[in-house]
Structure 1
């Protein structure tokens, strides 16, 4: 899935994308999403994207580089 661009999406569409992309699968051994987010809420981590302030990829890279 490609995240909606900030310019061509609404705040709600971006929120829905984040929640869908990071939805818990209840299979931590196979999924690993919780480890990537380090136990933090995806909506909180991606708040700047949802608000239209930063791109999804910028935030994702920060998470990967332990900046969050």
Structure 2
């Protein structure tokens, strides 16, 4: 089985996300619900997994790239 939208049904995509995330209901500490929502566009067939992951990773900035930061000081 593939992971592309064109290769899967909505039910298969739901299973892929659920299996990948583990505790999809987030009953342990509430942290997983945001991740489950993040992948809803994949489940609905709107965006591929790689697009969602790239968007997520693009939100983070490396410490060296932030203005006014020169590192942690422990060299």
TM bin, normalised by shorter chain, reads: 0.5 to 0.7
Q: CA RMSD in A?
A: 2.2
Query: Scaled by the length of structure 2, what TM-score is found?
Result: 0.58
Tell which has more relative contact order, 1 or 2 (C-alpha 8 A, sep 6+).
Answer: 1
Q: Where does structure 1 lack aligned partners over 5 or more consecutive residues?
A: 25-38
Matching of residues 43-54 of structure 1 within 5 Å: 43-54=36-47
The answer as to whether partners of 2:21 and 2:32 remain within 8 angstroms in 1 is no
Aligned residues: 52
Query: Scaled by the length of structure 1, what TM-score is found?
Result: 0.63
- Cα deviation, residue 61, structure 1: 1.1
Larger radius of gyration: 2
